[in-house]
Amino acid sequence: MSKTKSQYLCNECGACFGRWQGQCNACGSWNTISEVKTAPINLKANPSTVLQGKGGYAGVSDKKGHKISEISEKIYKRISTGLEELDLVMGGSGQNTGITIGSVNLISGAPGAGKTTMLTQVIAMLSLEMPVVYATSEENKEQFAARLKRLGCNFNNDNLLVINNDNLDEILEECKEVEAKFAVIDSIQSVYLPSIESAKGGPSQVVGCGTTINQFMKSNKITCFIVGHVTKNNTAAGPQALAHIVDSHIHLDRIESTDTRLLRSNKNRFGSEEAIGLFTMSENGLVCISNPSEYFMSSEDEHGSGTASLCIREGNRSLLVEVQALVDKPLGENVRQIASGISYNRLQILLTILKKHGKEDVYKDVIVSTVGGIKITDTDHSGDLAILAAIVSSLHDFVISQRYAFIGEVTLTGAVKNVPDGVKRVEASIKQGKEQIYVGSQLYAALANKTEVKEKCVEVKHISNLLNAMQKKARRK
């Protein structure tokens, strides 16, 4: 009998080492390295017997290669989940959007983000059309039934089966027996294979279970979702090999202190990895945000001085966001700067630029926040112009029209420069009702061939140009 070999894998990032050590050299985590025993490859085995009906990760098995000219284009059929934003993230076009039939997909997210809620809604909807199985090993079947009732989901009682089991072999056997067309494994860290001598959730169990699920689902043409845990850094837990096995990996984020959920695609063999989906959590589960820009903008009744609009890019989508500023005399001897939704360090830099190149008195309390709780990443400086406009608007107490938007990064010299996907941001802003867009010189020049779009843009070479325009408006008030 062949001897098993040992290797050591980091539970956080999946890095492999020849021996145990306290800290992972790859991700810097402590006490996350576990021993994994693997059996050596049997070189005498016939490869066809190993991959027969399995097809490795891709679900196919060829004995010889093919020329590109011999390979025909394949259009993959998809099934709609009933959630438009989820369908958007999973990919497709026209009427053929949603989950690719026969694919194996991983969904991760922090506890309470809404992974189970989302999949409960999806599996209930799909049960109206096909046999489905929900395998839950983290909660009992009564809890699942209670959630289904609480969400008010419409489902076919004959088609929807719940399995309360952590033995993966028995789960897959039941899926085959009932001829399921769609299955959910909740979660990969809480199921196990009896053939693997390792604790549930360990690297060897996660990889082994992931590989077995993938091969079984593809062999039986079952579409599957696997639920995965996350680490303290909100990334998918377990070895990275799991992400290589599945066809797609989506991650559900909760925007802090809000009911908003952001769904991102980290990997998608059948669609774009740049797609994002937006939801809000309600009593009836996740509800798609059909017009995200309206969600992150204040109403006309709430619009006042200190507000300005900008356009951010989330994946392949342009979102209009409103930033609000409140500037006033300090309450005490020391001034306060508070940033919510934007980088505090970036706010400090912009205030210094405003003082140096705008000759403005910024020795005041300054509070800046985004509407709707959305966060502009520290590396995204496309909102600089809008933040400065909002601060000046509050400082001089005048209102900027909701029909205006500001797109541009401000350098330390006060110059306004272009931003990534600047043209797309401008076009999206106009499409969503903005009539006047303040942009830097580079972006203004890039719009030379788009006459109708350029007509609605105002060139801002330097921050002083913006301040002059704002001051004229302040005097007209």
Q: What is the pTM of this model?
A: 0.77
Q: Strands across the sheet with 317-328, in order?
A: 307-314, 317-328, 365-370, 337-340
- Cβ–Cβ < 8 Å for 346, 378: yes
Nearby residues of 29 by Cβ (< 8 Å), 6 or more positions away: 10, 12, 13, 23
Please give the backbone phi and psi of residue 422, each rounded to the nearest 5 degrees, phi first. Answer: -60, -45
pLDDT tens column, 340-396? 999 999 999 999 999 999 888 989 999 999 988 888 888 899 999 999 999 999 999
Half-sphere exposure of 415 (CA within 13 A, CB side): 7
**Token pair belonging to 163:** 């399995």
Confirm if 189 and 209 have CB atoms less than 8 A apart.
no
Strand 104-109 to 99-100 pairing: unpaired
Q: Has residue 165 got a pLDDT over 70?
A: yes
Domain 77-290: which CATH number of 2.60.40.10, 3.40.50.170, 3.90.120.10, 3.40.50.300: 3.40.50.300
- The DSSP code sequence of 417-428 is E--TTHHHHHHH
Q: Nearest Cα to 266, choosing from 376, 108, 144?
A: 108
> Are 279 and 288 spatial neighbours (Cβ–Cβ below 8 Å)?
yes
Residue 78's nearest CA partner among 54, 94, 59, 66 is 94
205/303: higher pLDDT: 205
From 312, 290, 276, 475, select the one nearest 387 (Cα to Cα): 312
Which fold is adopted by the domain 294-476? Ribosomal Protein S5; domain 2 (3.30.230)
318: left (phi over 0), alpha (psi -120 to 50) or beta: beta
pLDDT at site 301: 63
Please, which pLDDT band fits residue 255 given cuts at 50, 70 and 90? confident
Structure token digits, residue 189: 């860290």
Helix axis angle, 463-476 to 384-395, nearest 10°: 30
Instruction: Confirm if 294 and 408 have CB atoms less than 8 A apart.
Output: no
The partner residues of 438 in beta bridges, in order of sequence, read 406, 458
> Residue 102 — very low, low, confident or very high, per pLDDT cuts 50/70/90?
very high
> Where do the structural domains in the chain lie, given as residue ranges?
1-40, 77-290, 294-476
Measuring CA to CA, how many Å separate 65 from each of 1, 68, 70, 373? 34, 10, 10, 52
The predicted structure's pLDDT at residue 197: 81
pLDDT at 145: 93
More confident: 84 or 471: 84
Q: Pairing state of beta strands 248-254 and 223-228?
A: unpaired
Q: Can you give the pLDDT at residue 46?
A: 38
pLDDT given at position 47: 34
Fold match flag (77-290 vs 294-476): no
Task: With CA atoms as reference, report the closest residue to 172 among 157, 185, 156.
Answer: 185
- pLDDT tens track for 34-50: 777 654 434 333 333 33
- b/e per residue, 173-204, with b = 16+ CB within 10 A? ebbeeeebbbbbbbbbbbbbbeebebebbbbb
Residue 96 predicted with pLDDT over 90: no
